[in-house]
A = this chain, B = another copy of it.
């Protein structure tokens, strides 16, 4: 977790105070369930809730842990300082530390997912707004970085919208994957604790009981979660790369918003760097790098080994905090992106009409000219554009052989941009679910 790439909403989830609060709630609900089952006295369960409004003292817990060398015991000792030793004596009964730790981790990941889902909504809203704004803003479509055929800026935004909407659906699924809890004891047999406790705790904490756990909740769930973040980060990179390309000096179809106060802008007005999207490109790598270790964490020895733990102490905050920051940054970038429709047209016309050569070729063959001849006709006019900078349409109109096959109006029509945008509404309806 890099402080400069972190938002407090997300880092709060990973602070010790939050963790202890969750542990407390798990233990208190577990006591309730045990009391309900008649395993412990109801008054002891009730007593635990005396600490309901306590802000646990992290430093004090650390102090105890320095002695006990065990984090959960340190917490329970501190809890007893609030609840009373005697009243607290049934807390955690029949449970194993992992019951608390793993259920807590999944709660944290679930909350992180909720924030990420909000982030994605911001990104989606920005993309949708800009898509409609530039639905008809024509620009050249490129394959291999080379001009191909016209498209619109709105279609670019709509495409990213569809991709991010898929990302959101995946994140919802990934959230469901890790929204489970387990209170099943040392090796998951419920030998020392009734399954009813797990059910109650999960219900109160917004989780589903893990159908079968060992000492730990199975890590394929977490692997899937991090893999999903990796895919979303990759989609984010996809958008970032597009913007970086658009902002290149030679292309200049868009620029990241550059506030008036930002240093250096006016003496070197050409030097506005797409630093935010470059940053997002790097952040995507940071999120993605957590995927493989999360997968390596799946194969634990027998009922558990603890190799996964240090990994998760790193990647759980790192991946969620970084992606949260990045998605927020992305939403802002999209929202404020400065778009230059005129430059888009200029770029498209860089080789005066040459991008239409394919359409002309087709029209000539459809007009009955042989493929070879059509090709020759297009070629000789195209080369004048390429080599001498002439205008393609004018050359065609001046080429007797071409005009013999196609009327000026027909030639003119081949350069009509409406030909390329005629299905934009259809596509928008598919993406945004509204009538074409």
Contacts and interface: CB of A to CB of B under 8 A. Distances in A.
B426 A190 contact: yes
Contacts of A142: 187, 248-249, 301-303
A18 interface: no
Contacts of A4: 313
Contacts of A227: 227-228, 230-231, 291
A298 B235 contact: yes
A169 to B, nearest CB: 9
B299 A234 contact: yes
A357 B268 contact: yes
A188 B247 CA distance: 23
Given A5-B310, A220-B167, A274 B144 contact: yes
Contacts of A357: 267-268
Residue picked from A177, A273, A289, A302, most chain B C-beta under 10 Å: A302
Contacts of A279: 306-307, 309-310
A187 B148 contact: yes
Interface stretch (A50-58, A151-159, A401-409): A151-159
Contacts of A233: 295
Main secondary structure of the interface of A (DSSP, over half): helix
Contact of A147 (B147, B215, B270): B270
A5 to B, nearest CB: 6
Interface in A67-87: 68-70, 73
Nearest to A242: B302
B301 A212 contact: no
* Contact residues on A (Cβ < 8 Å of other chain), bracket: 35 or more
A269 interface: yes
A430 interface: yes
A299 B237 CA distance: 6
Contacts of A181: none
A278 B307 contact: yes
Interface in A381-412: 382-383, 385-386
A379 B266 contact: yes
A367 interface: no
A228 B357 CA distance: 43
Contact of A301 (B147, B220, B241, B272): B241
Contacts of A240: 299
A125 interface: no
Contact of A267 (B144, B306, B361): B361
Interface string A279-304: 10111111011111101111111111
A302 B145 contact: yes
Interface stretch (A28-36, A41-49, A110-118, A415-423): A415-423
A371 to B, nearest CB: 9
Contacts of A73: 263
A313 B2 contact: yes
Given A298-B231, A314-B318, A306 B215 contact: no
B224 A269 contact: no
A318 B351 CA distance: 42
A418 to B, nearest CB: 10
A269 to B, nearest CB: 4
A177 to B, nearest CB: 8
Contacts of A282: 297, 306-311
A138 to B, nearest CB: 10
A238 interface: yes
A281 B423 CA distance: 33
Given A237-B299, A291-B295, 10 more contacts: A142-B303, A144-B306, A159-B213, A223-B231, A227-B231, A270-B386, A278-B307, A282-B306, A286-B293, A314-B322
